[in-house]
Amino acid sequence: MVVTVGGSAGPPGEVQLVVNGRTLARDLAAPGDAVSLPVEAVAPGWHAAEVLLAPDELRLDDARWVAIRSAPPRPKSSSRSPQSGHTK
């Protein structure tokens, strides 16, 4: 998940990704930065997630709720399809 931190100035603060009540990723980001928070070890299905920013004077924007859908990997195909456009 990519998170962009709003604001115009200030020191870097912690950004956390919490899924189903468990912190899965954290990083530091300054206002205007974008950070990538990996979503790993989540069972297939829909999950409630929260992105938390370090607390500041405006507490209302310190948390954002999102829904994350985790899908199982696609099975590998055992049959090969002929490549189009090739002739012998």
* DSSP codes joined into one string, 13-47: EEEEEEETTEEEEEEEE-TT-EEE----S--SEEE
pTM for this predicted structure: 0.69
**Angle ∠(69,54,20) on CA atoms, nearest 5:** 30
Write the pLDDT tens digit of every residue in 13-27: 889 999 988 899 998
Per-residue pLDDT, 42: 82
**Digit-coded pLDDT (tens) for 28-49:** 888 888 888 888 778 888 999 9
Written as six digits, the tokens of 24 are 């899965």
pLDDT 10s digits, 47-79: 999 999 887 777 777 888 989 888 887 888 766
Q: What sign does the dihedral 44-47-53-54 (CA atoms) show?
A: negative
Q: How many residues does the chain have?
A: 88
